């Protein structure tokens, strides 16, 4: 699949896969100078990029697991969505959940993107829904706890 991408800043780095079987492409910070996030501070980090997605596709922006576990840097909104009709700059909404300041360097890999196909739905309003074995059970109601019991 080919997707149009434009650099709106000459310092922007195109997203890239880091391994042959990676699902996500790493996204880089497009900063003119380092940006330090204090504990619990959030910021929109620019990428210097815009995209033109085909109709029926979205771009999901996700946290990088290494930054999350090693430094407590994650995304404010969990997963960001770039819609097919959006033509503005891609910004990554980061938050520092650690107890230490963290500095984002220009060109640093700060998130990853995955392109996903989606379906448009049409609601079919109903008076009742079909029965299932699970029924209304939720929040831990499925499956068996398979932890080993110590004796």
pLDDT tens-place string over residues 4-20:
999 999 999 999 999 99
Q: How many CB atoms lie within 10 A of CB 2?
A: 5
How many CA atoms does the CB half-sphere of 107 hold within 13 Å?
2
Query: pTM here?
Result: 0.83
CA neighbor of 30 nearest in space, from 50, 16, 10: 10
Say how far residue 69 (Cα) sits from the centre of its chain. Answer: 15
CATH code for the structural domain at 4-117: 2.70.40.10
Average pLDDT, the chain: 93
Residue 112 near residue 62 (C-beta atoms within 8 A): yes
Q: Is beta strand 80-82 parallel, antiparallel or unpaired with respect to 35-37?
A: unpaired
**Domain ranges (residues) in the chain:** 4-117
Is residue 146 very low, low, confident or very high in pLDDT (cuts 50, 70, 90)? low
pLDDT tens-place string over residues 85-118:
999 999 999 999 999 999 999 999 999 999 999 9
pLDDT tens-place string over residues 31-67:
999 999 999 999 999 999 999 999 999 999 999 999 9
The pLDDT assigned to 133 comes to 83
């Amino acid at each position: 699949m080919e997707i149009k991408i434009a650099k709106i800043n000459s310092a922007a780095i195109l997203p890239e896969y880091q391994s042959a079987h990676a699902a996500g492409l790493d996204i880089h910070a497009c900063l003119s100078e380092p940006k330090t996030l204090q504990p619990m501070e959030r910021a929109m980090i620019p990428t210097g990029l815009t995209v033109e997605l085909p109709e029926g596709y979205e771009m999901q922006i996700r946290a990088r697991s290494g930054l999350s576990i090693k430094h407590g840097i994650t995304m404010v909104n969990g997963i960001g969505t770039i819609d097919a009709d959006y033509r503005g700059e891609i910004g990554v909404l980061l938050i520092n959940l650690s107890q230490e300041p963290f500095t984002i360097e220009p060109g640093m890999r700060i998130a990853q993107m995955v392109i996903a196909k989606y379906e448009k739905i049409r609601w079919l309003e109903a008076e009742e829904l079909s029965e299932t074995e699970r029924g209304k059970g939720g929040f831990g109601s499925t499956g068996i706890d398979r932890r080993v019991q110590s004796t």
